[in-house]
Each structure stands twice: as structure tokens, then as C-alpha cells.
Amino acid sequence: MGDVTDDPVDDPVEALCVRLHRGLRGEGPLAAADAAALGCALLALGHRGPAVREAVERRPADVPPAEAADLAARLLAEAGFEPGFDLVPERLETLRRALEPVLRDLPGAGGPGARLVVQDAWYPPSAGVVLADGWLHGGGLPVCAGGDPVTAVAAVAAHVQESLMERDRRALPLCPDHGLGLHALRHSDAAVWWCTADGGHPAAAIGRLPRTGRNRDDRPGRRA
Ligand SMILES: [Zn+2]
């Protein structure tokens, strides 16, 4: 677990990673010299990957812009750089939008009172869903979960589901056909509730679970 700091400039490697990341997004200059500097810094830390070696061996002036972008991307991967939500705010937005269909299928989360929060103290950076009653379980949603809407819906559904199961100590939601606990996952480019019965089948798209699936065994004291 790394120290919590809001100031990446404290760490020269982090600062170079942030500069290259911003350059790749077109939010600042993408300098081959920064790639060379990062390569040297990573080498000093014991990294020996192909991108690190290339960045160290090539003269920045000899690296054309298109290759500099490719080299920067590979360097960031070798460095294990994980941008926080401050650097990729659209991913946080994608995760926030994913919450709505998930809450439709998991009414136990408390509806609109549940909210997605950034867990600032975490490394790598992550988000979490606080249920309407204030419950927040131990897991987190990594920044990459917000990379696209389908991944986001599946990830947020699994996260909220885990939170509810931890709180309520029972499996939900259930397959309307088989009565088994469902798994949130990505299947055929859609976020679905997956049932493992009968060789596996999608019970419903996440956000469109039939009410029988949501409500069975979900209302103590009422008709099951
Ligand atoms: Zn089923």
C-alpha cells in the first residue's frame, strides 16, 4: 500500500508518467525527452523491459512523434502506471452512469440514495458504491472498470452485489428460472446477469432483470 499523496510531483517517476499520460491524451506536449528520462528513472529502479531499454538507448531527437507516442504508451505499461480518476475523469463519469441500471435490479441497495464515491485513500486509485444506508464494503472499483460502459455496468453490478451479500448474508439476485444466485459479467458485448445452471445462460441484461428474479426471497415477511 503506497502513501497517500495528492501531489504527484513529489515522485519524479510519477511526474514523468503523468506528463506522458497527458501528452498521449493530447492534453500537453508529448516529448521524446520525457520518455528517455522516464526510461532512465525506471532503469535505475530495476526495470529491464523492452520499452525501458529502447527509451534509454535511443536519442530523443531520433524518435519521430508517432513512435514517441507508441514508446510512451509501452513505457507507462511497463511502469505499471495507473492514472487516478483526476487524470481520466470520464471513467468516473462512466462508472456513475453505470450505477443507475444496477440499482434497478438491486433494490436492496436503497435506490437513488446509493452513490459512487472516489476512495482517495486507496492505492491503486479506486471508487466504491456507498449504499443508501451508508454501507460500503471492502472491495473497490479500479479506474480501468470505467473504460467502457459495458465493463462499467458489469463491474458496478458485481461490486454492489458483493456489498449486499456481505451486508445481508444471502445470495441475490436470483435466476427467475432456476432460483440460483446470478453473477454479473460481460457476455457478447453486453453486461448481463449470468446463471450457471443448464450449462450457463444470461438471465437478463443488467438493469432489466424480471421482478420475479429481483424479489424472490428478497422480502422477509412478505410473500416469496
Ligand atoms: Zn438460470
The pLDDT assigned to 42 comes to 97
Q: Taking a C-beta distance cutoff of 8 angstroms, is the pair 154, 206 a contact?
A: yes
Reported in sequence order, the residue ranges of 58-124 that DSSP labels E, i.e. its strands, are 115-119
CA of 180 to the centre of ligand 1 (A): 6
CA gap 68, 203 in Å, rounded: 46
Q: What is the pTM of this model?
A: 0.81
CA of 204 to the centre of ligand 1 (A): 10
In one-letter notation, the amino acid at residue 174 is L
Q: Binning pLDDT at 50, 70 and 90, where does residue 212 land? A: low
Does 11 score more than 60 pLDDT? yes
175 CA distance to ligand 1 centroid (A)?
A: 5
CA-based radius of gyration for the chain: 22
Closest CA to 130 of 160, 166, 175: 160
How far, in Å, CA of 123 to CA of 120, rounded?
8
Contact 91, 146 (CB under 8 A): yes
What are the extents of the domains in the chain? 8-79, 89-215
Ligand 1 is an ion; residues with CB less than 5 A from it: 175, 177-178, 195, 197
Q: How far is the CA of 87 from the centre of ligand 1 (A)?
A: 40
Cβ atoms of 31 and 96 closer than 8 Å: no
Which pLDDT tens digit goes with each residue over 22-71? Answer: 999 999 999 999 999 999 999 999 999 999 999 999 999 999 988 999 99
**What is the CA 148 to chain-centroid distance, rounded?**
9
Q: What's the Cα-to-Cα distance from 204 to each of 152, 187, 194, 198, rounded to whole Å?
A: 16, 11, 8, 15
pLDDT in tens, 116-162: 999 877 778 899 999 999 998 878 999 999 999 999 999 999 999 99
Q: How far is the CA of 205 from the centre of ligand 1 (A)?
A: 13
Q: Is the pLDDT of residue 108 over 60?
A: yes
- Other CB atoms within 10 A of residue 36 CB: 23
Tell me how far the alpha carbon of residue 217 lies from the centroid of ligand 1, in angstroms.
16
Using the 8-state DSSP alphabet, how is residue 3 labeled?
Answer: P
What DSSP assignment string belongs to 115-182?
EEEEETT-SS-EEEEE-TTS---S--EEGGGGSSHHHHHHHHHHHHHHHHHHHH-S--SB-TTT-PBP
Ligand 1 center from residue 194 Cα (angstroms) = 8
Q: Do residues 32 and 59 lie in contact, with contact meaning Cβ atoms separated by under 8 Å?
A: no
Q: Are 69 and 52 in contact (CB under 8 A)?
A: no
Q: Distance from the CA of 160 to the center of ligand 1, in angstroms?
A: 20
